[in-house]
Amino acid sequence: MTESTPAVRHEVAFLLRRFAATTVFERRTAVRGIATAARRSPSGSAEQEAIAHALVCAAQDADVRVRLGAVRGLARLTPQPAAATVAPLILDDDYTVREAAVRTLVELDSSHAVPMLVAASRDARVPVRCAALIGLRKIREVDTSVLEALVAGLSDPDPSVQGAAMASLRTLARRSAHLAATITELGRQGLTADSSYRREISLELLRRLAVPGHRERCRSALRDPAPNVRRRAERSR
C-alpha cells in the first residue's frame, strides 16, 4: 500500500464501524455492505482480513438476517477459511440460513461438503432439502452416500424435492457410461420400490434418461395400486 492508499478503504471502514453498532438495523445494513465489499477486496489484504473477521462475527449474530448476510458475504472470500465458518450454519435454527449455508458451502468447498450435504438432504424444510440435492450434482467424486441421498430424494413426498433429486441424477448420468448404467439400474429398481413416490418419479427418470421400453413401463404402471403412479403413467405414455 502506498501512503495515499489506506489499508482499509474509507467506505469499508465506515461499514465495519457501523457493524459494531448495538442496533439490529445498523448491523443488518452494515453486513449487506460488507458482503458487497468482500467481492472487491484484494485477496490477502488487511482489508479482506477485516471483512472476514466481521463476517465470521456476523455468522454468530443473534439476528437471522445478519447471519444470512454473513453467509452470502463469506461466499466471496477465500474458500477454506470461509467454508469452516459456513459449515456449522447448516445446522442453524433458521431454515433460510441453513439453505444459504448449503448453497454457499457447495460453491466454496464442494470436495469436502458431501457428509454435510447428505445430512442436509434430510432437513425438515423443503428448500434446504432441494438445495442439498442440487448441490450433490456438483460433487466431483460420486460415492454410495451421494447416490443413496439422491435415491432417498426420489421417495420424498414433496414434488420439488423429487424433481431436484431426479435432475441431479440425470446430470450425474451424463458424466460417464458407468454412472449412466448405475443410475439407470437405480431407476429400474425404483419401479418396484415400496414408496409410491419413488415408483412414480422413477418412471419419469427412465423416460428422461431415454431408456428403451417406456410405453411398456407405462402400461405396467397403469395397474399400480397407487393413484399417483397411475396418473403419471397415463400422462406419460
Alpha-carbon distance 105 to 85, whole Å? 10
pLDDT at site 83: 85
Alpha-carbon distance 212 to 47, whole Å? 58
pTM, to two decimals: 0.86
Query: Domain 143-237, CATH 3.50.30.30 — does that match?
Result: no
Whether 50 and 12 have beta carbons less than 8 Å apart is answered as yes
pLDDT at site 49: 87
Alpha-carbon distance 13 to 2, whole Å? 17
Burial tier of 193 (Cβ tally within 10 Å: 0-12, 13-18, 19+): middle
pLDDT at site 4: 44
Buried b (16+ CB within 10 A) or exposed e, 172-187: bbeeeeebbebbbebb
pLDDT at site 3: 45
Residues with pLDDT less than 70, the chain: 1-6, 79-80
pLDDT at site 41: 82
Query: Domain 1-88, CATH 1.10.20.10 — does that match?
Result: no
Over residues 62-97, the pLDDT tens digits come to: 999 999 999 999 988 876 678 888 999 999 999 999
Q: Which residues in the chain are classed under CATH 1.25.10.10? A: 1-88, 143-237
| Three-class HEC string of 96-121 | HHHHHHHHHHHHHHHHHCHHHHHHHC
pLDDT at site 44: 78
